Amino acid sequence: MAYLISEDGRELLKDVKDFCENEIRAQVKEYDESGEWPKDIYDMAIEMQLSMMDVPEEYGGLGLSHIDQAAIVEEIAKADAGIAVTLNGNGLALKPVLIAGNEEQKQKCCDIIMNGGWGAFALTEPDAGCDAGNSKTTAVKEGGEYVINGRKCFITNAQVADFFVVTAMTDKTQGTKGMSAFLVYKGTPGLSVGNHENKMGIRTSITSDLILEDVRIPEENRLGEEGTGFYTAMKTLDLARMWCAVIGVGICQRCVDESAVYAQQRVTFGKPIWKHQAIQFMLADMEIRTQASRALCATAIDLADSGKPFTTEASAAKCFTGDSAVKNALDAIQIFGGYGYSREYPVEMLLRDAKIFQIFEGTNEVQRMVIGRAVVGSHKI
């Protein structure tokens, strides 16, 4: 099942397919090995407005429907999940602004992205990952300013970002209700970025610490009311999980594509390996997981688009797709046999890339907690 995309979406998808084939796939192996940020590829993606897909039409964006966007994101993820994560990073940074920001803040951040800039969402800290409410970063009000101190870690796009959404405690006595969200712009004194993490996978994305030392920002940079930062972050993650799942589907599909071709080329015991039932069943299970993942994404997108609650569905899509991407990548390696274990072939990278989809934007344990609570909540006795 493909997403049912519009005519305009289909046109853009054709260009995206060419870009993926001729630029991303042609170069990605080299960048995966070096761990270098592929600026030339991102410059082309900006040119094609692929970093701007999350900007709403009323703020100058492309006006793509979420379904069209999903088809495009999956296509990019099929070519390279790290590039899809980076482009999606702009959406991750923009979502809290669109959820909680005022008109001026929304327009400013959208303009940055439409002009080829980048954003980053900085929630995680060394002692606050799954337990995001345990944030140690503080924002203290002094006159018309906030002074922010703390350290964020694993922040996607931090090294290239022009604006950051930073969460910080404005009142530690209130727990998660004492967290607020702020816009901090690149170049603000006291703001610095740590080293690029040398990651296992999605190596074409850039991930770094963000250090805030006496960072002074005007009160107007607060997103929403004081104390609403945790709520904004959780709402952001609902949407982000949906997109994370869409990227995961790209990995699932790539595993199927690579394996289906290889299984016809490789001959053992006088026949192509796909004719052995063990391999055929593995291919079938990979396809089932891919279709089921895509269907879960479509359900979450549909609910989000119609303004209905979709937290559980986004978590289910993220969790199932992350697990499926890892399983499909393992099966792809198995189908390739010894060659699957070699860096000369593409499938080992798919496993390294897939693993992060069980970890970021809320680990799959956290997703199961969210889903489990919702199931019990809807069956109150």
Point out the residues that are catalytic. 361
Residue 13 or 366: the one with the smaller Cβ distance to ligand FAD is 366
Distance from chain centroid for Cα 339 = 29
Binding characters for ligand FAD, 195-224, by CB under 6 A (x = yes): ----x-------x-----------------
> Which residues does residue 30 pair with via DSSP β-bridges, in sequence order?
none
Q: Are 101 and 128 in contact (CB under 8 A)?
A: no
Alpha-carbon distance of 351 to 353, in angstroms, equals: 5
Q: How far apart are CA 319 and CA 81, in angstroms?
A: 17
Total residues in contact with ligand FAD, by rule CB under 6 A: 20
Distance CA 60, CA 350 (A): 35
Task: Say whether residue 365 binds ligand FAD (CB under 6 A).
Answer: yes
Contacts of 247 (CB under 8 A, 6+ apart): 73, 74, 77, 81, 84, 85, 88, 357
- Residue 234 interacts with ligand FAD (CB under 6 A)? no
According to the binding rule CB under 6 A, does residue 356 interact with ligand FAD? yes
Near ligand FAD by CB under 6 A: residue from 12, 13, 28, 155: 155
Sole residue written with tokens 């607060």: 222
Among 26, 130, 267, 376, binds ligand FAD (CB under 6 A): 130
Contact present, 124 and 132 (Cβ < 8 Å): yes
83 in contact with ligand FAD (CB under 6 A): no
Residue nearer to ligand FAD on the CB measure, 130 or 284: 130
Q: At what angle do helices 81-100 and 347-355 cross, to 10 degrees?
A: 20
Question: Cβ of residue 236: shortest distance to ligand FAD, in angstroms?
Answer: 10
Q: Output Rg (C-alpha) for the chain, integer angstroms.
A: 21
The C-alpha atoms of residue 352 and residue 335 are separated, in whole angstroms, by 17
Work out whether strand 119-122 and strand 163-169 pair parallel, antiparallel, or are unpaired: parallel
CB of 291 to ligand FAD, least distance (A): 27
Q: Which amino acid is at 144?
A: G
Q: Does residue 360 belong to the site contacting ligand FAD (CB under 6 A)? A: yes
Could you write out the DSSP letters of every residue in 262-306?
Answer: HHHH-EETTEEGGGSHHHHHHHHHHHHHHHHHHHHHHHHHHHHHT
Q: Interface residues for ligand FAD in 270-309 (CB under 6 A)? A: none
Provide the token pair at 324. 């499926």
Q: Is 363 in the site for ligand FAD (CB under 6 A)?
A: yes
Q: Round to whole Å and give the CA distance between 319 and 317.
A: 6
Which of 303, 359, 371, 374 binds ligand FAD (CB under 6 A)? It is 359
Shortest distance (Å) from residue 103 CB to ligand FAD: 25
104, two tokens? 């001026």
Q: Per rule CB under 6 A, is residue 60 in the interface with ligand FAD?
A: no
Q: What single-letter DSSP state applies at residue 146?
A: E
Q: Does 315 bind ligand FAD (CB under 6 A)?
A: no
* Least Cβ distance, residue 356 to ligand FAD (angstroms): 5
Which candidate, 261, 257, 278, places its Cα nearest to that of 269?
278
Smallest gap from Cβ 4 to ligand FAD, in A, equals 30
Q: Do residues 290 and 328 touch, judged by C-beta distance below 8 A?
A: yes
- Least CB distance to ligand FAD at residue 6 (A): 30
Q: Report the residue number, 238 or 361, with the smaller CB distance to ligand FAD.
A: 361
Nearer to ligand FAD, 244 or 335 (CB): 244
Looking at the Cβ atoms of 31 and 121, the one nearer to ligand FAD is 121
121 touches ligand FAD by CB under 6 A? yes
3-class DSSP assignment, residue 130: coil
Q: Minimum Å distance from CB 81 to ligand FAD?
A: 11
Nearer Cβ to ligand FAD (207/290) = 207
Does position 6 bind ligand FAD by CB under 6 A? no
Residue nearest to ligand FAD (CB): 129
> Which residues are at the interface with ligand FAD (CB under 6 A)?
121-124, 129-131, 154-156, 199, 207, 356, 359-363, 365-366
